Amino acid sequence: MSREIEVLEANEAFYRAIATRDADAMEALWSRQAPVACIHPGWDAIDGHAEVLGSFRALLESSSAPHLQCAVAAAHVVGDTAFVTCHELVAGARFVATNVFTREEGAWRMIHHHSSALGPVQPRVHRPEPELRS
């Protein structure tokens, strides 16, 4: 199995843990050894294993826990680290995410998650000269 497919499976496991509200599965996905962080949509960065996992526990236990689906995931592997870009479909809204993984004890484990709102008319194509806003 290629490393890209392994990473995409780890990425799918992340969204499955959210869909099934499985806090244990979520915790198992994150690195134990590396520094970790997380940026939820509209929020500032959260640093540290306890804080990141705490934010996901709060999310999974919340009555407003989102029912989201992952789409158009693309894996980029660089040695023992990888990042995935993908869409998150939530109640008609579309977000775009970066998920970063490192290979640890034979498994791909998350070290960072950054999710943000996608503009209303943003097909997944390559634009030669986008009107950038940053």
Binding site for a copy of itself (CB under 8 A): 31, 34-37, 39-48, 51, 54-55, 58-59, 62, 64, 66, 68, 74, 76-81, 83, 85, 87-88, 90, 95-98, 100, 102, 111-112, 114-119, 122-134
Please identify, using beta-carbon distances, which residue of 25 and 114 lies nearer to a copy of itself.
Answer: 114
CB 59 within 8 A of CB 18: yes
Collect all residues with Cβ–Cβ distance below 8 Å to 78 and sequence separation of at least 6: none
Which of these, 54, 53, 59, 45, lies nearest to 88 by C-alpha position?
59
Please identify, using beta-carbon distances, which residue of 22 and 116 lies nearer to a copy of itself.
Answer: 116
- CB of residue 63 vs a copy of itself: minimum separation in angstroms? 11
Beta bridge partner(s), residue 87: 71, 96
**What phi and psi, each to the nearest 5 degrees, are found at residue 33?**
-105, -30
Identity of residue 129: E
- CB of residue 2 vs a copy of itself: minimum separation in angstroms? 13
- CB of residue 105 vs a copy of itself: minimum separation in angstroms? 14
